[in-house]
Amino acid sequence: MRGFYIGRFQPFHNGHHHMVEEIAEEVDELVLGIGSAGDSHTMRNPFTAGERIMMVSKSVDELDLRTYPVPIEDLERNSVWVSHVQSMSPQFDVAYSNNPLVVQLFREAGVEVRSSPMFRREVLEGAELRDRMVRGDGWETLVPDAVTDVIEEIDGVERIRRVADTDANGDDNADPE
């Protein structure tokens, strides 16, 4: 059986990793949708699709699970989003998501969806991690080691601080949360 799990993964954190570990107990293969793939260099979406593919691929490498990362760009129209996803992805039998809109769109399209309880959500949330990076508060223990390595390689903390400044100055390119 093949599953599908999409997120923006800005960055990929231990909550996402925990969810992939749980999914791995139910499927043989997993498509990892890299959502909002066209977005980068904003406070909400600092990392490119390619950088997020590195984070995800290196993090799940240790698991006994074949994975396929697939970038998925956003569309103006929610009503055709599931078809768009299916057009970009290997075929899958079940979608995994805790995002209410994603769950609704898949169910309306007749795709089986499974959700799971949030794991340590008080700290394992992308927005919280990005804020910690800007403030210089400890974030490294909240992501897989592979993600720390990728963020260091791409100088990701400096990137987030710069785009946080841009957002704060009301620049046109800003994408406020």
| Angle between helices 145-153 and 49-60 in degrees, nearest 10 | 150
Q: Using CB under 6 A, which of the segments 4-12, 113-121, 128-136, 158-166 binds ligand NMN? A: 4-12
Does residue 95 touch ligand NMN according to CB under 6 A? no
CB atoms within 10 A of CB 168: 12
Binding pattern for the stretch 102-131 against ligand NMN, x by CB under 6 A and - elsewhere: x--x--------------------------
Name the binder of 159 from ligand NMN, ligand ATP, none, CB < 5-8 A by kind. Answer: none
* CB-based burial label for 100 (10 Å; 0-12, 13-18, 19+): exposed
Backbone angles phi and psi of 36, in degrees to 5:
50, 50
Q: Judge contact between 146 and 16, C-beta under 8 A.
A: no
Distance in Å, CB of 57 to ligand ATP, minimum? 16
> Which residues are near ligand ATP by CB under 6 A?
7-10, 15-16, 19, 97-99, 118-121, 124-127
